[in-house]
Each structure stands twice: as structure tokens, then as C-alpha cells.
Chains A and B, each alone.
Chain A
Amino acid sequence: MPMFQPSRRDGVVAGFDGSGDGQVLDLDTAVKDGILGGVGGGVIGAAVCEKLDLKKMIEELDLPDIPPVFICPISLEPMQDPVTLCTGQTYERSNILKWFNLGHYTCPITMQELWDDSVTPNRTLYHLICTWFSQKYLLMKKRSEDVQGRASELLITLKKVKGQARVQALKELHQVVSSHATARKAVVEEGGIAVISSLLGPFTSHAVGSEAIGILVNLELDSESKTNLMQPAKISLMVDMLNEGSIETKISCTHLIEKLMEEKDFRPEVVSSHSLLVGLMRLVKDKRHTNGILPGLSLLGSICLLKEVRSLIVRIGAVSQLVELLPALEPDCLELALFVLDTLSSLPEGIGSLKDCPNTIPNLVRLLMRFSENCTQYALSILWSVCKLAPEECSSVAVEAGLGAKLLLIQCGCNPALKQRSAELLKLCRLNYTDTIFISKCKLTRTIQ
């Protein structure tokens, strides 16, 4: 049972001293703000409360620092219909009635037996709660309109200014748009996307470009905007920023390009760029900024779905770089990386690179059955392709790396497709060994044998 502890600060009970933070209902401020009825604010407060649904306001505001006196001791939620018992304690009506229905006729806080089971609506407290929430709600609405207004202003400014003023306006718009949904809506509705896109071109400075991309990536882009952004000069700019910018800029560029790829008529040649792919690989390999790895791999994954670009990915040496990365990757990144490698293994040059990279087999074998089933599936698929390409060479390396035991493990408990694949691989690997030697390579204990 929750024991209500009045907050004692410096030995003074909350609510009765004038000092304090937002948690305490500060009397001085309360009068000034009109919550306690001074300066005619109280009347307005009540009237406003009627118009604005208290429940709706509480939900929309979702504030963390509600004065404790407004909170129902049973549910710890703000009260919408406070009622007081004969003991003087106040609860939310529905909660205290539930308490009574369970057969308890005590006051939950004081634990006294009730000599009077009537519940009195606490109009005063209700009035205070309404006024407090109304004030906060109106403030929030105003702030949100302010933000909207500010966003509109900034868009108008952007159409006029150049140079440093332009950079400043973009910076502020970026900030505003990142933190307020209303600002985002305002920008989209007022044709802001077109304005910002028009700033991107072959002579756009990095300062302007990085802020512009930061803004665009937060917004809902329609088909026309996306097509506009796919112009070669704009894409070039994004690729440059992906190579040169801060980690946040790099991630924004990555996300934006991925968004553009969702467009129906997306032409693969847009992403068929050495600079882009090399830049992505650098992002993925960045040890100092690991938050770029997932976005980078995600975009790389989307790109390798395009057949036309796959061989380019292989040509820039992505295969061996990804293989070397595998041991250090987090599980979600790992699955993406394996997906990419598996897709690339369908190309002759891809599977060739995989075979030539000395760490392919050991790294992949180590991964089997250690992460998600998808990871195991991709790893197995790649191993199968590599071993099939050069059975003599690769099977022995695989077996030395401990593939045997893993395959047997897969046989014990995975989906049928996986089991089938592992059985095939097992057959391939056993070709060069006698049974005894193979089993010993599997390093199995006697019992399992």
C-alpha cells in the first residue's frame, strides 16, 4: 500500500512554504499566475477548464513534474475527479470506489476505519488542478505557435539572404525542426522543401549544405521533392558531404539517400558512384564514431539490392573490408553486413573476393549459431558458395576452423532449410577426410560421439 509521504524539505511540509521548485505548489507564484484566484485569473482558469477537456490536456501535456498534491495516492496519476473522505484525505473518485468495492472501509493513507463512508467532491482541488493544467496547456500551445511562426519567418529569410546570414538561418531552422513537430509541419506546408532544395547545387558550400540536409532528412518528402533531389549536382553534393562532414552530417546524408531510393522511378545510376560507395565504406569502418555503422550498412544493403551496382561495390574492395569488420560488429549491424556479403556472393567477382580473403572462412565459422538465425543462414550460405567454388582448398580451411562441430549443431536445432544446407556443406567438407579424422576435427566429447 502506498504510504503518502509529504515531502519534507528542511523540515517544512510541502505546499506551505513559499520557496521551492516546480514540484511544490509555490504560493507566491500561484497567486501571480492566477491559479489561486488572484488578479482575476482564477475565474478565467475555471472557464477555460470547462472548454478544454481536462483529460485531454493531461494526456497531451504528459508532464513529469506535476505538483504532488494533485496526484492520487492510489494510482499515482493526476486526479480528474478528486473526492475527500471523512479523514480529510483526497483520492481519485474511481480509485477510492474500487477500493471500497474490494471490501475495504479504511482510508488507504491513514489506515483509519471510516466512520462515514461518504465521499465529498473536492471542488477546490479540482479548480486548482484545472487551472494549473490549463495554464500549462495554453503555454504549450503558444510556444508551439511561436515555433511555427519562427519556422515561417526563417523560410522567408532564406529566400532573401546569402552568405553567413544564410548559414545562420539554416542552423536555427535545423534546430527548430529537429525538436518540434509543429515546425516540421509548417515548413512542409509553406513550400519549405522546395526552397531548401534550391539551395543545393554545384557551388553550395559545406556549411550551407550540411544544415540543409540536416533539415530535409527530418521532413516528409513527397514524390516531386524526392525526384528534384535526385538531380546529379545535388546528389554529388550529398556524396561530398558524406565524405567530408561531421558524423551527424554523414548519417543525415545516408538517411536521406536511403529515403530517395524508396521512390518508385529511382534510377540505379544515381547511386552508381565510386565516391558514394567508398564514402559509405569509410563510414562503416569508422572506429571513432560507431553510431554511423548501422546507417551506413543499411544504405549499403539497400544499394546492393540493385543488380547494376553490385559489381561496383565489389570493385571498390568492399568484400574484404566487410569480412575484416565482422568480428567487431554489433548483432544488428552483423546481420546487415552478412546480408550484403551474401548478396555479393552471387556475383562471380564477389565470390572470388570472398575466397581470396583469408579471414572469410574463420570469421564466418565463428559466427555460426552465435547470433540470430538470419545471421547463421547468411553465413552458412556464403560458406557453402565459397566451398563449392574451391572445394579442396576451402573445405580444409573450414574444417580446421571448427566448421564440423557447428554444422552438427545446426543439424540439431534449426529450421529445415538451414538443416538441409548444413547437411550439404557437411557432405562437401567430409570428402577429404576419413570419418575418424573428421570427427576428431570436430572436437566432440565422447558423450556426444
Chain B
Amino acid sequence: MGLLCSRNRHSNEADAKENAQAEEIERRIEQETRAEKHIQKLLLLGAGESGKSTIFKQIKLLFQTGFDEAELKSYISVIHANVYQTIKVLFDGLKEFSQNETDSSKYVLSGENKEIGEKLSEIGGKLEYPRLTKELAQEIETLWKDPAIQETYARGNELQVPDSAHYFMENLQRFSDANYIPTKDDVLFARVRTTGVVEIQFSPVGENKKSGEVYRLFDVGGQRNERRKWIHLFEGVTAVIFCAAISDYDQTLFEDEQKNRMMETKELFDWVLKQPCFEKTSFMLFLNKFDIFEKKVLKVPLNVCEWFKDYQPVSTGKQEVEHAYEFVKKKFEELYFESNTPDRGRIFKIYRTTALDQKLVKKTFKLVDETLRLRRRNQYEAGLL
């Protein structure tokens, strides 16, 4: 009897301890779930090369500790790769034009540049790139300055010349320095195709220090073959930041050279808007690459893009730029509202951005933050929170 009693007591103690532990775990899970609820998820979406990753990097620079030296150095190989890729695209493009054009004399390289071009094109086609030495940098610069290449660059929209081509070509000397450490701007311009998903968590601290909002920002791959990876991220997102490069209206896709980039963006935006999981999500549309748009719209008419075919220019200079921008903005608005009946009461705002300009991105993000806080306040007042 006594034994039984004592054994019972032992097992009771063991049970109690287990229960206490289980309770502790439960409590912690509950706490973390509650904490999770306060973290607002932001999803960066958009077609390839729309500037999503640049925005991502900017946020990292603005609201986290930025990039440390190791991280900066990790970009050296990326930047060198971008240099090789750029010059290869230009050289290959030049060869294509010289074969097809009637006035192919424009596309003839002078002197030794043809050999240099062939060599660089071969390097650029390999899987691994050599380090950018001073000699290679010099050769690339010589080739870049060749009039034929400049002619090719002028028609860069017909090829897959990256937007940052000019930046890379102008900074070759610095890039090829033996002790080169990339600057913040270098990192922002560097282009890597995002595969998979990257995320950062941050809190925008500003004058309004008691804001205390915690955001988790996700960046996903933009090219078509990566989109299936987005699906599992759609639940519980506070806001979608959709990036659209408005300077793309005369360019074609990397993955499908028959498709106009702006048309692709239009279709993607429409598809995203219709997803049921985004029924209550706020949409922040970033009309990006305004700096390139500004210059391009005065030289290349908007109506080369089918979506903008009813555009009529009204004046010149700054006024015309503003008018063109308003036109593009209205087109996106039209798309949003006419794919969105009945009106679900979602927040939809359009922002003009130039992702490479840190000050502008900071200002823009402050506005996004304000909008999301206002939304929470309105929902709270409406008794939804």
C-alpha cells in the first residue's frame, strides 16, 4: 500500500512537471503567434528587372545596418560579371545589326577592336568569369568608346542591354582596381537574377519613433519561370508593393524576346489583382525608373507600346513628361478599377519612384508606412481589429 502510494506520488510529480513544461511551450507559442500578428508582411512583386531587388537593397540600407565590408566585397564578382555580360550583349548585338541592316557601315568596328570584341564575347559566354584586370578593363573601355558600339547602344532597347550599362562602362577603372571595394551605389546597380525568395525584417524608425511597426519584406524572382514559387507566400500579406518599370515600354522580355515588357507588366498586374488571397490586401504600385522614363519619353513616343496607343503628346519638355506620366498612371488606375468590381474597399495608391535614389525611396517608404498606419487606425475605428 505504502509503495503504491509513493509511486503514485512520484508519477504525480513527473506528470506535474510535464504539464508545466507543456504549458510553458504553449504559452511561448501563443506569444510568438501574437507577436507574428504584429509583423506586417510586405510582398515585392513585379516583372523581371522592374526594380524590386533595388528597392529591397534600399530598404536594407535605410532601415537596417546596411552592408558590411564582407557583404560589399561579395558583390565584386557580381559587378565584374555584369561588366562582361554588358559588353558581350553589345558586341553580339552589333554583329546582328551589321548583318541585317542596309547601312551596315555604321556597325563596322575600327582596327583591332574587332578582335578585342571577339575575345570579350568568348569570355562573356563562359560559365565563370575571370577577375577584371586593368588590361581587360582598358580593352573593354576602348571597345565601348568605338562609334560602332555607341551606335549599337543607341538601339539598346532592341537587345537585352541592362539599364545600368552606362554606369558600368563609365566606372571600369575603379572596378578593376586591385583593392576595389564596391560602394553602396555599385551594389544598388549590380544585377543578379533573384532566384527563390529573400526576406528582411525591419522597423522604420523616423521622427515618429513610437510607430513601432515591424515589417517583413519579401523579394521574389520576377522572371516567368520563378512565379510558381510565390504561391505559398500569399497568405496574410498586409500589402503588395508592385513594381512596374515605366521606362520599359519600348523593350522586350529577357525570357521571351517577342513580348513587350510593358504588356507583360500589364498582364501580370491584372493577374495579381484578381488573386482571391489578395482580396483585402493593400496595393502600393511603384511606377519605377522615372529617371529613365523622363528622358526616354521625349525621344521615343509612348504609343509604340500597344497599351498606350491612344496617347497624344501635348507639349514639350517638363510639361510633356508630366503629361505622359499622368497618362501612364491613369492607365494603371483604369486597369485596377475595371478589374476590381465590386469595389472591395482595398487601399490602392500609386507612387512615382526612382529606386536608385535613396532619398526618394526613403520619402516614398515613409508615405507607404503612413498609409498602412492610417489603414490600421481606420480598421480599428470600424471595429474590425
The residue on A at minimum CB distance from B359 is A203
Q: Which residues of A contact B326 (CB under 8 A)?
A: 232
| Selected contact of A282 from candidates B345, B349, B371, CB within 8 Å | B345
| Selected contact of A206 from candidates B338, B343, B370, B382, CB within 8 Å | B370
Q: Which residues of B contact A243 (CB under 8 A)?
A: 347
Number of interface residues of A (CB under 8 A): 23
CA distance A232 to B110 in the complex (A): 50
A321 → B minimal CB distance (Å) = 8
- Is A56's beta carbon under 8 Å from chain B? no
CA distance A278 to B375 in the complex (A): 17
CA distance A275 to B366 in the complex (A): 21
Would you list which residues of chain B between 279 and 334 have a CB under 8 Å from chain A? 322, 326, 330, 333-334
The residue on B at minimum CB distance from A232 is B326
What is the 8 Å Cβ interface bit string for chain A, positions 198-219, against chain B (1 contact, 0 not)?
A: 0000110111000000000000
CA distance A288 to B326 in the complex (A): 34
Asked if A205 and B364 sit within 8 Å, CB to CB, the answer is no
- Is B61's beta carbon under 8 Å from chain A? no
B28 → A minimal CB distance (Å) = 37
- Is B367's beta carbon under 8 Å from chain A? yes
Asked if A274 and B333 sit within 8 Å, CB to CB, the answer is yes
- Is B95's beta carbon under 8 Å from chain A? no
- Is B189's beta carbon under 8 Å from chain A? no
CA distance A164 to B207 in the complex (A): 8
Task: Apart from A205-B366, A278-B343, list 20 A-B contacts with CB within 8 A.
Answer: A164-B207, A202-B351, A203-B364, A205-B370, A232-B322, A232-B326, A244-B374, A245-B374, A273-B330, A274-B334, A274-B337, A275-B348, A278-B337, A281-B343, A282-B343, A282-B345, A288-B382, A316-B337, A317-B341, A317-B342
Q: Which residues of B contact A317 (CB under 8 A)?
A: 341-343
A-B interface contact total, Cβ < 8 Å: 49
- Is B352's beta carbon under 8 Å from chain A? yes
Q: Which residues of B contact A202 (CB under 8 A)?
A: 351-352
Would you list which residues of chain B between 235 and 266 have a CB under 8 Å from chain A? none
Asked if A244 and B334 sit within 8 Å, CB to CB, the answer is no
CA distance A197 to B348 in the complex (A): 24
Asked if A273 and B333 sit within 8 Å, CB to CB, the answer is yes
- Is A258's beta carbon under 8 Å from chain B? no
Q: List 8 A-B contacts (CB under 8 A).
A: A202-B351, A205-B367, A244-B374, A274-B336, A274-B337, A316-B337, A317-B342, A317-B343
Would you list which residues of chain A between 226 and 255 have a CB under 8 Å from chain B? 232, 236, 240, 243-245
- Is B363's beta carbon under 8 Å from chain A? yes
Q: Which residues of A contact B349 (CB under 8 A)?
A: 240
Q: Which residues of A contact B375 (CB under 8 A)?
A: 244
CA distance A207 to B338 in the complex (A): 30
Q: Which residues of B contact A180 (CB under 8 A)?
A: none
Q: Which residues of B contact A232 (CB under 8 A)?
A: 322, 326
The residue on A at minimum CB distance from B335 is A274
A275 → B minimal CB distance (Å) = 6
- Is A315's beta carbon under 8 Å from chain B? yes
Q: Which residues of B contact A11 (CB under 8 A)?
A: none
Instruction: Given A273-B330, A282-B343, answer yes or no on A315-B371 (Cβ-Cβ < 8 Å).
Output: no
Q: Which residues of A contact B363 (CB under 8 A)?
A: 203
The residue on B at minimum CB distance from A288 is B382
A40 → B minimal CB distance (Å) = 53
| Selected contact of A163 from candidates B207, B336, B341, B378, CB within 8 Å | B207
A213 → B minimal CB distance (Å) = 15
The residue on B at minimum CB distance from A203 is B363
Main secondary structure of the interface of A (DSSP, over half): helix
Question: Which A residues form the contact surface with B (CB < 8 A)?
Answer: 163-164, 202-203, 205-207, 232, 236, 240, 243-245, 273-275, 278, 281-282, 288, 315-317
A448 → B minimal CB distance (Å) = 44
CA distance A173 to B342 in the complex (A): 40
Asked if A275 and B367 sit within 8 Å, CB to CB, the answer is no
Q: Which residues of B contact A163 (CB under 8 A)?
A: 207
Q: Which residues of B contact A278 (CB under 8 A)?
A: 337, 343
CA distance A274 to B345 in the complex (A): 13
CA distance A164 to B366 in the complex (A): 13
CA distance A282 to B343 in the complex (A): 9
Q: Which 8 A-B pairs have the closest CB atoms?
A: A274-B337, A274-B333, A203-B363, A232-B326, A206-B370, A244-B374, A164-B207, A163-B207
CA distance A372 to B381 in the complex (A): 37
A311 → B minimal CB distance (Å) = 12
Q: Which residues of B contact A316 (CB under 8 A)?
A: 337, 343
Asked if A207 and B333 sit within 8 Å, CB to CB, the answer is no
Q: Which residues of A contact B352 (CB under 8 A)?
A: 202
B345 → A minimal CB distance (Å) = 7
CA distance A216 to B336 in the complex (A): 31
A320 → B minimal CB distance (Å) = 9
Instruction: Given A164-B207, A278-B343, A315-B338, answer yes or no on A206-B333 (Cβ-Cβ < 8 Å).
Output: no
CA distance A2 to B81 in the complex (A): 101
A291 → B minimal CB distance (Å) = 16
A380 → B minimal CB distance (Å) = 29
Would you list which residues of chain B between 60 and 77 have a CB under 8 Å from chain A? none
A149 → B minimal CB distance (Å) = 29
Q: Which residues of B contact A240 (CB under 8 A)?
A: 349
| Selected contact of A244 from candidates B333, B350, B351, B371, CB within 8 Å | B371
The residue on A at minimum CB distance from B369 is A205
B57 → A minimal CB distance (Å) = 21
CA distance A14 to B367 in the complex (A): 61
The residue on B at minimum CB distance from A231 is B322
What is the 8 Å Cβ interface bit string for chain B, positions 152-176, against chain A (1 contact, 0 not)?
A: 0000000000000000000000000
Q: Which residues of B contact A275 (CB under 8 A)?
A: 333, 337, 348
CA distance A281 to B374 in the complex (A): 20
CA distance A12 to B202 in the complex (A): 71
Instruction: Given A163-B207, A244-B347, A278-B343, answer yes or no on A206-B374 (Cβ-Cβ < 8 Å).
Output: yes
The residue on B at minimum CB distance from A165 is B207
CA distance A274 to B322 in the complex (A): 19
CA distance A207 to B374 in the complex (A): 10
CA distance A273 to B375 in the complex (A): 22
CA distance A240 to B367 in the complex (A): 12
The residue on A at minimum CB distance from B382 is A288
B136 → A minimal CB distance (Å) = 43
A356 → B minimal CB distance (Å) = 13
CA distance A278 to B348 in the complex (A): 11
CA distance A206 to B347 in the complex (A): 14
A251 → B minimal CB distance (Å) = 16
CA distance A315 to B348 in the complex (A): 18
Q: Which residues of A contact B364 (CB under 8 A)?
A: 203
CA distance A207 to B366 in the complex (A): 12
A390 → B minimal CB distance (Å) = 23
CA distance A385 to B334 in the complex (A): 29
A341 → B minimal CB distance (Å) = 18
The residue on B at minimum CB distance from A207 is B370
